[in-house]
Structures are given as C-alpha cells and as structure tokens.
C-alpha cells in the first residue's frame, strides 16, 4: 500500500468531491488523501481535550480507524472535517472516562505540551497544580466543554457540533464546570 493519497485543500472542487465519493466506497487512496488533509486538525483537537501528546497520537490513529470503519455511513455531500471532529471528540471522551484523573492527568496537563504561552509566574505553581488537579476531577463531558471554551477559546458553535449538543448546552456545561471547579478550589483553601 503506497502513498498515493495526496494532500489537497478542502473546498468545493470536483476533485475533492470525488475523493469523498471514493472514500465512501472504501477506496484506500482516497482515505489516505483525507488522512493527510485532516491528520493535523484532528490531532490538535484531541490534544486540546486530552492534553497528553502520546495519548493524542494513539487516539488520532483510533479516530481514523473508526472513520475508516464508518466509511459507508459518511455522506459525501457533507464536509468531512466536522464529521471527523465529532468522531475524534467521542474517542477523546472515551479516553478521559477511562483515566484515573488524579494519577494520570495533571502532570501531563501542565507540561510537555506545545503550549502557546507559559504560565504566569505571578501565579504560584502550587495554585496551578491544585487547579489542574481540581479540573481533572471534573466529569469528562464538563472538562471537554470547559477546556475547549475557556482555555482554547474555541467558538461555542464548533464545540457544540463536535460534542453533538446545542450551543446552549455547551454554555451550561461550561458554567457547571466552572462552578464545580470553584467549589473544589475553595475546599482546597483557594478562593478565586
């Protein structure tokens, strides 16, 4: 199996439409083309949710495996990216649910990620650690919504599409996540 698949910009071109049609029929070259095109955004999306680079790679593979298995259900008239993102979100949430938050996540959450900025030295490392720990204790569905909305500042509409819920439900999840986070921090002696 070679590398016949090529990257191409997702657009309304007939070539891209043909790739989507071929993918639906199970063509491996078309699948590789879509993989090359969407690997980076899918990986980045998963990384934002799970905040663990090694796990994000494994989950990207899992996502594309599920995408390949579901190729017959793909509707070529709809864009591939949001569909892939929905599957990636489900994969990431499954992974979060399988983790023990206190042990597994906090160290990875705060280091060894390609972060856009380093933490403010004005905020003590201990407070950051406790915040990350409290965040890791939140239910996965709330965590995903909160990290995407508050930390990654993704549009609510995109988060809603990826989670398969309404924009109002996203806002509610973020609100609940922040309320639970505040309560947890207060229990730890931090008053935000």
127, burial (CB in 10 Å: exposed 0-12, middle 13-18, buried 19+): middle
Nearer to other proteins by Cβ, of 80 and 135: the residue is: 135
CB of 31 to other proteins, least distance (A): 9
42, burial (CB in 10 Å: exposed 0-12, middle 13-18, buried 19+): buried
Contact 29, 54 (CB under 8 A): no
Tokens, residue 56: 């994000």
Nearer to other proteins by Cβ, of 132 and 161: the residue is: 132
Give the 3-state secondary structure of residue 49.
helix
Nearer to other proteins by Cβ, of 98 and 116: the residue is: 116
CB of 190 to other proteins, least distance (A): 8
CB of 49 to other proteins, least distance (A): 10
Cα(43)–Cα(63) distance, integer angstroms: 9
Nearer to other proteins by Cβ, of 16 and 64: the residue is: 64
Cα(28)–Cα(20) distance, integer angstroms: 11
Binding site residues, other proteins, CB under 8 A? 1, 3, 32, 35-36, 39-40, 43-44, 47-48, 51, 53, 56-57, 60-61, 64-65, 68-69, 109-110, 113-120, 123, 127-129, 131-132, 135, 146-147, 150-153, 178, 181-182, 185, 190, 192
């Amino acid at each position: 199996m070679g590398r016949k698949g090529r990257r191409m910009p997702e657009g309304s071109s007939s070539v891209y439409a043909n790739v989507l049609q071929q993918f639906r029929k199970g063509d491996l070259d078309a699948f590789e083309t879509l993989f090359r095109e969407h690997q980076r955004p899918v990986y980045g999306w998963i990384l934002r949710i799970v905040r663990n680079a090694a796990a994000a790679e494994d989950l990207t593979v899992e996502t594309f495996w599920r995408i390949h298995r579901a190729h017959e259900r793909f509707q070529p008239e709809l864009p591939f990216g949001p569909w892939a993102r929905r599957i990636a979100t489900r994969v990431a949430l499954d992974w979060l649910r399988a983790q023990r938050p206190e042990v597994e996540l906090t160290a990875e959450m705060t280091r060894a990620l390609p972060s856009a900025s380093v933490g403010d030295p004005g905020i003590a490392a201990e407070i950051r650690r406790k915040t990350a720990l409290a965040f890791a204790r939140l239910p996965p569905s709330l965590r995903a919504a909160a990290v995407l909305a508050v930390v990654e500042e993704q549009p609510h509409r995109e988060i809603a599409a990826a989670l398969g819920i309404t924009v109002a439900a996203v806002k509610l999840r973020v609100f609940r996540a922040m309320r639970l986070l505040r309560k947890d921090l207060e229990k730890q002696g931090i008053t935000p």
